[in-house]
Amino acid sequence: MRIWLFLIPILVVTVVIYIGCGTNAEPTAPDLVTPRYIGAEVCTTCHIEKGEEWAQTGHHNALTDLLASDHRSDSCTPCHVVSLDNNPANGGYDDPNPLAAAKFGGVQCENCHGPGGNHIHDYIPLASPLSSEICGTCHASAHHPTYTEWQDSIHATANLEWQNSTHFTAECQQCHSADYIFAASVPADAKAEDFKLGITCVVCHDPHSVKNEFQLRAPVRDLCGRCHTDEQPVPGESVHHSTVEMYTGVGGYEFPGEVYTNSYHTQIEESCAACHMYTAPFDATSNTAISGHTFEPRIEACRECHEGLQTFDRNGKQTIIQGLLDELKAKLDAATAEDENGLSYVRAKFNYDFVSADGSTGVHNFKYARKLLQDSINDFTPGV
């Protein structure tokens, strides 16, 4: 009896390898010279949890959704199935056996990881691509310009910022480079230039999971806030990127006895994405769509609440914040060496840097920015 229990897993793997795409498909055994596609049904025999997650994604239903679309065409099909590459020898959707081909509908494991025939035959590892190019194979067209827009974004070249920085270290790549973020380990002597990828698709999106909307790895504000943060410095320390702190109304030096409030923007449900990821469907007249993946704010997003708005400087609020920044900067520039050792200077300098580093000139949280600057101006006078 124990011998049979031992042999059962071996028999199951053997059946999976040679039956592959299902008992009715009868594909050939994997060819080690021409790696064959085997289909998600085989992959998920072992990778059960990932398969269950993937089955809930839009990738799983890609072909079904295409066939139900009122604007489908044959040119769409290659991005909605596995391996429609005019090479039937490697299996996939264009396998001459119609029963086998039926197993390759949808965007499956092998669209990203490559053909799995050799993997199940002799455990040759499959690729786990981190670059955006694999996503860009399909998510790049006039209808779906996600990859094209991403290429024009700062995210795409975030790993190269060391080239123009005097303080960039390898550790900075934890927010600048996908290959650092997903590295199993980082050598102690690693250099910033050792990491070749910027912030690619998989840094923000989980290809296997729909736990969060748009398959994000975390809710929007938390996800953006992992990197767009000043990491909680205090007066006397340098401010890095205070974006999420400014947006949520925390982290600046708040003077005792003063009341600090937040602007309405901090209550927007879509958070950062509401302004920085404005989308628009395909327009046949202009032959364009907008996917929001340049991450640049667009005035069209503001108009969803502020009808007819022509500038981000709504009601002159950016002008007000810039004026307060200039006023405080003038005071800081006039400080004596003795002033610079004083607590009032240190607090004022911290709040100046905090508001400046946010980068929105008050758009993220006008009330909080204005209060921090005004209180700092009132508290610090050079030479006193």
Report DSSP letters for 42-81, one per residue: HHHHH-HHHHHHHTTSTTTTHHHHHHH-SS--GGGGGGSB
Is 191 inside a domain boundary?
yes
Query: Of 167, 183, 217, which marks where a domain is finished?
Result: 217
Q: Is residue 241 located within the same domain as residue 204? A: no
Tens-digit pLDDT profile for residues 75-132: 889 999 999 888 888 888 988 888 888 899 999 999 999 898 888 877 778 888 899 9
Instruction: Tell me how far CA of residue 294 lies from CA of 101, 200, 276, 320, in angstroms.
Output: 37, 12, 8, 28
Q: Is residue 336 located within the same domain as residue 226? A: yes
Is 87 inside a domain boundary?
yes
Instruction: Tell me how far CA of residue 144 lies from CA of 26, 40, 73, 136, 293, in angstroms.
Output: 37, 25, 15, 10, 11
Is 1 inside a domain boundary?
no
CA atoms of 204 and 384, how far apart (whole Å): 49
Query: What would the two tokens of residue 321 be?
Result: 């914040």
Is the pLDDT confidence value at 180 over 50?
yes
What average pLDDT does this structure show over 133-144? 91
User: According to the model, what pLDDT value does residue 320 have?
Assistant: 98
N- to C-terminal Cα distance for the chain?
91
Is 328 inside a domain boundary?
yes
Residues pairing with 288 in the sheet: 283
Is 94 inside a domain boundary?
yes
Is 2 inside a domain boundary?
no
CA atoms of 13 and 230, how far apart (whole Å): 51
Q: Is residue 308 located within the same domain as residue 341? A: yes
User: According to the model, what pLDDT value does residue 19 have?
Assistant: 38
The pLDDT-based confidence of 33 (bands split at 50, 70, 90) is low
What average pLDDT does this structure show over 353-365? 97
Q: Is residue 211 located within the same domain as residue 295? A: no
- Percent of the chain scored above 90 by pLDDT? 73
The pLDDT-based confidence of 207 (bands split at 50, 70, 90) is very high
Q: Is residue 332 located within the same domain as residue 247? A: yes
What average pLDDT does this structure show over 349-355? 98
What b/e sequence results for 300-328 when a residue is b if at least 16 CB atoms lie within 10 Å of its CB, and e otherwise?
ebbeeeeeebeebbeeebbebbeebbeeb
CA atoms of 126 and 194, how far apart (whole Å): 23
Q: Is residue 227 located within the same domain as residue 375? A: yes
Q: Is residue 78 located within the same domain as residue 147? A: no
Q: Is residue 323 located within the same domain as residue 380? A: yes
What average pLDDT does this structure show over 293-311? 95
Q: Taking the CA atoms of 16, 17, 21 and 25 in sequence, report the sign of the dihedral they define.
A: negative
Q: Is residue 186 located within the same domain as residue 234? A: no
Q: Is residue 213 located within the same domain as residue 239? A: no
- Name the residue range of residue 229's domain: 221-384
- Percent of the chain scored above 70 by pLDDT? 91
Q: Is residue 149 located within the same domain as residue 279? A: no
CA atoms of 219 and 36, how far apart (whole Å): 38
Query: Of 217, 235, 257, which marks where a domain is finished?
Result: 217
Tens-digit pLDDT profile for residues 269-280: 899 999 999 999
Query: Of 62, 97, 128, which marks where a domain is finished?
Result: 128
Number of structural domains found in the chain: 3
Outline where the chain has alpha helix (H): 2-19, 40-46, 48-54, 62-68, 98-101, 109-113, 117-122, 133-136, 146-151, 178-181, 201-204, 220-225, 243-248, 272-276, 299-302, 317-333, 343-358, 366-379
Averaged pLDDT of the chain: 89
Tens-digit pLDDT profile for residues 35-49: 889 999 999 999 999
Q: Is residue 59 located within the same domain as residue 162? A: no
Is 115 inside a domain boundary?
yes
